[in-house]
Amino acid sequence: MEPFRCIIDRQVRKAFNTGQCKVDDFKLIKGEFHLKYELSSEYTKMFYSALIPYKMEVFIYIRDYYRSFMQQKSVDSYPQFQI
């Protein structure tokens, strides 16, 4: 998941700047912010719509990563996810 964080981070910044993502959507529990359960499907849709345009890039990265791992290649030769 970490290689795709750039896609989600961009969507979060965009949603925050446009008011789609609000502080009131979260609750504070023991010093941690948690998304309110009733809003989870909204946020899932938002993240899904951000990821879907990159589905081929994600697929190719995962395929190439798996192949590198299974062939026990050097970590230096593993694919890099870029958009």
Question: Does 1 score more than 80 pLDDT?
Answer: no
Which pLDDT value is given to residue 83? 79
Total-model pTM: 0.73
Closest CA to 83 of 47, 49, 51: 51
Residue pair 7/54 in contact by the 8 Å Cβ criterion: yes
Residues 17-69 have pLDDT tens digits of: 999 999 999 999 999 999 999 999 999 999 999 999 999 999 999 999 999 99
Which pLDDT value is given to residue 81? 86
